[in-house]
Amino acid sequence: MLVLTRKCGEAIRIGNGVTVVLIKAGRGQVRLGIEAPAGVPVLREEVYARIAEANRDAADRTALAALAGRKNNKQGDRS
Amino acid sequence: MNHNALVTIEHRRIGAIDIDDARVLHLDGLPGFPNARSFALVEREDTHPFAWLASLDDLDLAFAVLDPSELLKDYVPHPSANDLRAVDATHPSEVAWLVLVNVDADGVYVNLAAPILVNEAKLRAAQIVLADASLPLRSPLRL
């Protein structure tokens, strides 16, 4: 991992489109400003991790048979 | 370039699917699956109203999806200007939502926190994390 030291008001550019500005540094936390091109999502890591886990869970568990079978059962119940 | 070639692919998760190469969605930013970018949106009569986003990069990967306008009529997220730009759209009328479906032993759940925004005309899609933090990642679906 690249590690850089920045002062308040200084920035880092990532590629041509992303700028991260250190706005304020306090005890145990910093405030960052992020500029990214339109359409590039910027998420807190823990939010990204929760969505990724939900996606993996949905992909792993949801089998074709589970949904096809469900409808067949429902039709069976009605008849 | 032929944009209407019909190819049949044996997808290991959902079986044989006909892929019209003009109907392949390009999906940017699906957390957890950074390398899966091309998806076929597959409607299957036997699983209606659930459809499938079948990865064409990984034939073991498919997501069940639901058009919320069918079963979740109160769920009408408003796409931000940035959300629209993520799928190359400029107006909400150009896009539609799909929610990801998760089936497990005790029921069917839908992800209302991070739905998929689809621009059919441009064949672009993106998973959008909605600003409303009260929306659940796992909401039970009553069928």
pLDDT digits (tens, 9 = 90+) for B108-140: 999 999 999 999 999 999 999 999 989 999 999
- For residue A40, the model assigns a pLDDT of 83
Give the per-residue pLDDT at A75: 43
Question: Interface pTM (ipTM) of the complex?
Answer: 0.89
Interface size A-B, in CB pairs within 8 Å, comes to 96
pLDDT at B1: 52
Q: Which of B47, B100, B114 sits opposite A67 (nearest CB)?
A: B47
* CB contacts, 8 Å: B88 with chain A: 39
pLDDT in tens, B6-38: 788 888 888 888 887 778 999 976 899 989 999
Residue B108: exposure state from Cβ atoms within 10 A (0-12, 13-18, ≥19): buried
Among chain A residues, CA nearest to B11: A64
- Note whether B32 contacts A51, CB cutoff 8 Å: yes
Q: What pLDDT is attached to residue B21? A: 72
Q: Is the pTM of this model over 0.90?
A: no
pLDDT tens profile A52-79? 999 999 998 777 777 776 554 444 443 3
Question: What residues in A contact B129, CB-CB < 8 Å?
Answer: 41, 43, 47, 51
Whether residue B92 has a cis bond before it, omega within 30° of 0: no
